[in-house]
């Protein structure tokens, strides 16, 4: 794990959890490898608050699923991720295995979807992942406190499907088109790993504005930090636990990451609504390709 100044790692079990100071929390290594970074994105913290779980309640696969959703929205659809759109596709489920509340909840794709979503990954087995953790330091947040029990919220609320405003019709149409063109969750995962983007980290700009090896959003920068194909395949296998055909990481013909075609990006973003962490943003910026964010260079 690369030290960024945001996270202080301490050997597992070296201090009593009751001695944690404000801003210190238990961070599982598996959550880092599946797309979580510091400082944690405001979208992901709001998503936790909306459903109710603490960070440690969630399985590594749930973190991976959410990371893929974020990168899909930013790099291929052209909108910021938001809670109401996530709820349209996913529900929260309580695991029936064991009584341990850590990792006892997970996100699952809805079975009654009318809008196709990119085919997902199987829920890979994460052996002994609860034993690998560090103490991380970031801005204090109630969602990061170690849980002492299960969720008290009504389980029916975990499955409640929001009514999307008509402004989301263009977003759903774009997701449908990407799925019909053959884009899968494996493609999306490979794309953000290859670019060294950490989807669930608070980043200065969305993935559609990614501009190469020196991009400020990258976890590792520099010309020599790009992953070669063989290294990418090894990393994908490590993250998913799946056996796959390497060519399945190659994007389908016609599916272009928005960061690679500025004209396409401008055209796509002009047709989509402006979203914030919760849903439809109150202030529309009307076709601004960077949604009001000034990007030097």
pLDDT band (50, 70, 90) for residue 295: very low
Which residues face 26 on adjacent strands? 135
What mean pLDDT comes out for the span 26-30? Answer: 91
- Work out whether strand 133-137 and strand 90-94 pair parallel, antiparallel, or are unpaired: unpaired
Residue 10 has pLDDT above 50, yes or no: no
The 10s digit of each residue's pLDDT in 220-259 is 887 777 788 888 899 898 888 878 888 889 999 999 999 9
Rg of the chain taking only CA atoms, in angstroms: 19
Which residues face 27 on adjacent strands? 134
Q: Which pLDDT score is estimated for 228? A: 83
Integer CA distances (angstroms), 52 to 92, 153, 155, 213, 225, in order: 9, 7, 10, 37, 37
Residue 36 has pLDDT above 70, yes or no: yes
Residue 98 has pLDDT above 60, yes or no: no
Q: What secondary structure does DSSP assign to 261-290, as a single string?
A: -HHHHHHHHHTS--B-SSSB-SS--TT-TT
pLDDT band (50, 70, 90) for residue 279: very high
289 or 259, which is more confident: 259
Q: Which pLDDT score is estimated for 226? A: 77
Q: Which of 267, 269, 271 has its CA nearest to residue 291?
A: 269
Buried b (16+ CB within 10 A) or exposed e, 89-114: bbbbbeeeeeeebbbbbbbbeeeeee
Q: Which of 280, 267, 282 has its CA nearest to residue 166?
A: 280
Q: What is the pTM of this model?
A: 0.88
Helices (H), the chain: 29-33, 42-51, 60-71, 83-89, 155-159, 169-180, 185-194, 229-240, 262-270
The 10s digit of each residue's pLDDT in 109-134 is 998 888 889 988 876 667 788 888 88
pLDDT band (50, 70, 90) for residue 37: very high
Q: What is the DSSP letter of 203?
A: -
What mean pLDDT comes out for the span 271-275? Answer: 94
Q: What secondary structure does DSSP assign to 143-155, as a single string?
A: GGSPPSS---S-H
What mean pLDDT comes out for the span 14-42? Answer: 84
Lowest-pLDDT choice from 5-9, 70-74, 135-139, 276-280: 5-9
What mean pLDDT comes out for the span 162-167? Answer: 93
Q: What is the DSSP letter of 204?
A: S
Distance CA 244, CA 7 (A): 33
Q: Which pLDDT score is estimated for 184? A: 95
8 or 240, which is more confident: 240
Mean model confidence pLDDT for the chain: 85
């Amino acid at each position: 794990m690369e030290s960024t100044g945001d996270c202080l790692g301490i050997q597992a079990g070296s201090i009593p959890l009751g001695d944690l100071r404000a801003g210190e929390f238990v961070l599982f290594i598996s959550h880092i490898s599946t797309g979580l970074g510091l400082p944690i994105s405001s979208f992901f913290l709001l998503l936790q608050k909306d459903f109710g779980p603490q960070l440690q309640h969630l399985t590594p696969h749930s973190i991976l699923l959410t990371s893929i959703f974020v990168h899909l929205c930013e790099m291929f659809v052209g909108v910021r991720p938001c809670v109401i759109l996530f709820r349209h596709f996913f529900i929260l489920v309580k695991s029936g295995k064991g009584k341990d509340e850590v990792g006892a909840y997970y996100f699952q794709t809805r079975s009654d979807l009318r809008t196709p979503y990119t085919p997902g990954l199987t829920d890979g087995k994460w052996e002994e992942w609860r034993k690998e953790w560090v103490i991380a330091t970031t801005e204090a947040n109630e969602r990061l406190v170690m849980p002492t029990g299960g969720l008290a919220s009504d389980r029916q609320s975990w499955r409640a499907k929001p009514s999307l405003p008509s402004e989301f019709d263009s977003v759903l149409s774009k997701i449908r088109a990407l799925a019909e063109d053959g884009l899968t969750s494996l493609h999306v995962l490979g794309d953000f790993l290859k670019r060294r983007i950490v989807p669930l980290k608070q980043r200065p700009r969305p993935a559609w504005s990614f501009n190469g090896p020196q991009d400020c959003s990258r976890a590792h920068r520099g010309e020599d930090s790009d992953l070669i194909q063989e290294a990418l395949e090894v990393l994908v296998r490590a993250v998913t636990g799946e056996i796959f055909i390497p060519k399945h990481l190659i994007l389908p013909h016609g599916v272009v990451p928005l960061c690679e075609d500025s004209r396409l990006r401008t055209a796509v973003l002009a047709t989509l609504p402006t979203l914030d962490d919760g849903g439809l943003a109150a202030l529309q910026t009307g076709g601004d390709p960077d949604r009001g964010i000034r990007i030097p260079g």
